Structure 1
Amino acid sequence: MLNVRSPIAGDVAPCSGSGCSCTRTFVHSIVFPNLHVEVPHDGSVTTESTFQVLKACFHHWSSCPLSGVNAGIRDRLIQMASDMNDLGLFDNMPICLTHMQLDYDNIFVDRHAHGDSPIISAITDWDTATFAPMFMVCVPPSWLWMRAENNETFSRAVIDGPTSPEARELKQLFEDAAGPDYMRFAYEPMYDWARLLVELAMDYHFHKVGRVNVVETILRNWESHCRQWNLDLTCYIREGTLN
């Protein structure tokens, strides 16, 4: 999916022409409602910046009466995105095909397709697929080698890693195959924040009961970190100490 790219972020949709039976696929822009681009694209459209996409999304939500996103929340979300942009988290960020629910429930494996070599035979639940910043694709697939238990957070489980030799070997095999770019986006703690912000920006269910309360909590936590570090988070990005 990292190699399937679009110049714009948005939803994936087939050609909707009247009576059309072609297999062309388009991305409908989040930023500009009337803009759609065919993928693969021809390079004629300039790639949208991640900050531009986030800002447009939050302005959209603040204009929807049912979203619960007032101007105050909108401006705080945009400021959070601006902080990340200033720190370079969004620099040269491609927009890639993203399966928003790529976990073990949606991956089918044929264990006997080639003798003792299993293959992935299908991936389901593409209705939530979208084109989003590359770091959205690079979610650590920790379900391959471990599960968070009790009150242990997913992030904590990712940082600590597996405990058994077999699970550690599986994790290492995945990381060797994934490559350095994937690894940086997957394990750098600041990109956990960035993924959370993009999920909020692209959330089509802001009006759900309690959703705005979740947004408020996220904003308070982010703003608390910023005050604690005097808005200078560069060292935390480099050292990977943000939890």
Structure 2
Amino acid sequence: MSSEVATPELEMESKSDSSTVVYDHEPFETFKARVLELCQTVLIPANGKVSIERMHGGGFNRIIGVSVTSNEHSAVSQYILRVPRFEAAQLGCDLAPLQLLRQQTKIQIPDVVAFDTTRRNVLESPYMIQTRIPGSSLFPAYPDMPHEMRCAIAKELGKVYSELHSIRSVTAGRLTLSPSQGSLMIQPFDNTGTDAIVPYENGPAAKTTFNMLHAILDHKKELAVAEGPNQSFRVSFFDHFIATASEMSTLGVLDENYYCLCHLDLEPRNILVRAPSPTQPQTITGILDWDSALFAPPLMSCSPPMWLWAWNDEDEEDERLAGNTPSTPELRELKQLFEHAAGPTYRRFAYGAQYRLARKLIRFAIDGLQSNEDLMSAELLLSEWTEVQQSLKLAKGAIAGPQVDPSVTN
């Protein structure tokens, strides 16, 4: 068994700004020796060799590419090593969605070939090794692709949305793995204690959407109260959120009482594609970064992927404009192809202002108020809801028609 390290430019640079400076991690030049030792243990066949390359990581994981060559057959297998950046990272939350998706869907995802949720290994860190999916990232190439390829992407991505809507859970929360048995579990949103984790179960919701949301907001409010008087502004926001959730429920915004799997970051950077061929007809070769996946009301899985038909290089897409008709026949075709493939659940919840605001409210319930930007966004949500609520009430009254007192006669 032998090993080698590829990409000579890595030898010239001992520090990675992202890993060493920003995250205070061990420099790649020394870390790569331990990566090689790990790979020699869990990946390399007899008389094989391994090469590694530093890759651009994300905010939560250090990413390293691994290539394994068999001397006997000259075959090359490629993998991705993911190492969590933070002590609090839970590898089970990365592994569990992949396990569930492999069991219940045909969505293209990486295979997990090795992992360790402990620090008892040569890396002294939890890690996961996945197969490396062929293809290239949609970002920033998508707007320059041929129209036929973009149409294929729109249809295939729509099918991903439809499949996610079909995967249900009795409990809303984050998927994770049982530390002892590796079975699928759910960490409820309204209780982060380890004793609150329940086995994953596919079925009708145990709580209505409103009751679930109310419980989360109450929990977040209690946490803010416990922090003392200096958090009174957060307490006030959660009081307003609770009132808004009640108003949304009264107007039927939260009526769909089931929980489906939601990938909250289905952006071009997390989608891999390649030109289709007779043997590989699919254009989308992989969907990445399932660590954000959770079980939530279906409206959470219906945020419009505006980049498909309204790519914007300058700014983030404005979801308030998602329902607008695209300006050209080609862009209209992309939108229509996606909507048809995504199905009726998407079409119901994607474009209404009430559902857009409900998505924001549920995100605040799950993630809390973490920054000044969150506070400004929360104020905007409450202000917008006042207007939308009035419009819904007027529409509801118009549908109901004038009420006639039956005691009044001509």
- TM-score, normalisation: structure 1: 0.80
2:361 aligned residue: 197
Partner residue of 2:184 out of 25, 30, 46: 25
Q: Is the 8 A contact 1:87 1:234 kept in 2?
A: no
Shift of 1:236: 9.7
Alignment of 1:162 with 2:323, yes or no, is no
Shift of 1:99: 0.6
1:38-86 alpha-carbon deviations (Å, 9 max, x no partner): 33x154x852221122212222222233876543222211010011100
1:97-120 alpha-carbon deviations (Å, 9 max, x no partner): 111111111111232354583332
Q: Which whole-Å CA distance do the structure 2 matches of 1:220 and 1:189 have between them?
A: 13
Partner residue of 1:185 out of 349, 371, 379: 349
What is the SS of the residue equivalent to 1:97?
strand
Q: Which whole-Å CA distance do the structure 2 matches of 1:32 and 1:97 have between them?
A: 19
Q: Which whole-Å CA distance do the structure 2 matches of 1:152 and 1:161 have between them?
A: 18
Alignment of 1:81 with 2:242, yes or no, is no
Q: Is the 8 A contact 2:298 2:345 kept in 1?
A: no
Q: Which whole-Å CA distance do the structure 1 matches of 2:311 and 2:362 have between them?
A: 24
1:38 aligned residue: 199
Partner residue of 1:133 out of 285, 289, 297: 297
Q: Is the 8 A contact 1:69 1:212 kept in 2?
A: no
Q: Which whole-Å CA distance do the structure 2 matches of 1:102 and 1:196 have between them?
A: 16
Q: Which whole-Å CA distance do the structure 2 matches of 1:237 and 1:192 have between them?
A: 23
Q: Which whole-Å CA distance do the structure 2 matches of 1:218 and 1:159 have between them?
A: 19
1:55 aligned residue: 214
1:132-188 alpha-carbon deviations (Å, 9 max, x no partner): 110111111221121257689623431223212111112111122222222011122
1:218-240 alpha-carbon deviations (Å, 9 max, x no partner): 223323554xx3872544998xx
Amino acid at match of 1:218: L
2:386 aligned residue: 223
Decide which structure has the larger Cα Rg and report it.
Answer: 2
Partner residue of 2:371 out of 205, 208, 217: 208
Partner residue of 1:12 out of 168, 175, 200: 175
Alignment of 1:109 with 2:273, yes or no, is yes
1:90 aligned residue: 254
What is the SS of the residue equivalent to 1:2?
helix
Residues 233 and 30 of structure 1: CA distance in aligned 2, closer, same or farther (over 3 Å): farther
Shift of 1:91: 1.5
Q: Is the 8 A contact 1:2 1:97 kept in 2?
A: yes
Structure 2 unaligned spans of 5+: 1-163, 400-410
Q: Is the 8 A contact 1:8 1:29 kept in 2?
A: yes
What is the SS of the residue equivalent to 1:232?
helix
Which stretch shows the higher mean deviation, 116-125 or 49-58?
116-125
Q: Which whole-Å CA distance do the structure 2 matches of 1:78 and 1:12 have between them?
A: 25
Q: Which whole-Å CA distance do the structure 2 matches of 1:68 and 1:122 have between them?
A: 45
Residues 180 and 67 of structure 1: CA distance in aligned 2, closer, same or farther (over 3 Å): farther
Q: Which has the higher contact order (CA 8 A, sep 6+)?
A: 1
Q: Which whole-Å CA distance do the structure 2 matches of 1:105 and 1:68 have between them?
A: 38
Q: Percent identity?
A: 33
What is the SS of the residue equivalent to 2:326?
coil
Amino acid at match of 2:236: G
1:241 aligned residue: none
What's the Cα RMSD here?
A: 3.0
Q: Is the 8 A contact 2:357 2:381 kept in 1?
A: no
